[in-house]
Amino acid sequence: MTECSPSFASAGRIAFSFSASSPDDAERGDRDRRIRDALDSLPEDQRAVLALRAGDDLSYDEIAAALGIPIGTVMSRLARAREAMRRRMQR
């Protein structure tokens, strides 16, 4: 079975990768669970911006238009979401 899993890439960004699952991937499964938990812990406004940026690869302008918010708000929410994810994943 092929599944999509988010992971940290350079500069604190979240990247999504596809991989075949196997029973031997306990470490990957633990990491994926931690990422899901960290994403779930974000406030909805931060999670939405992060999902549109990392998951849908939208530009800041596209995110601002989609959510009807200023680009500065997109940037601050994204920065806060990335920092919260970084802190949560370092635990």
Q: pLDDT (tens digit, 9 = 90+) per residue, 60-84?
A: 999 999 999 999 999 999 999 999 9
Q: Mean of the pLDDT values across residues 12-35?
A: 70
Whether 77 contacts 46, CB under 8 Å:
yes
Q: Average model confidence (pLDDT) for the chain?
A: 83
18 phi and psi angles, rounded to 5 deg: -110, 135
Whether 50 contacts 36, CB under 8 Å:
no
What string of DSSP letters covers 35-70? HHHHHHHS-HHHHHHHIIIIIS---HHHHHHHHT--
Q: Tell me the two tokens of residue 83.
A: 């920092």
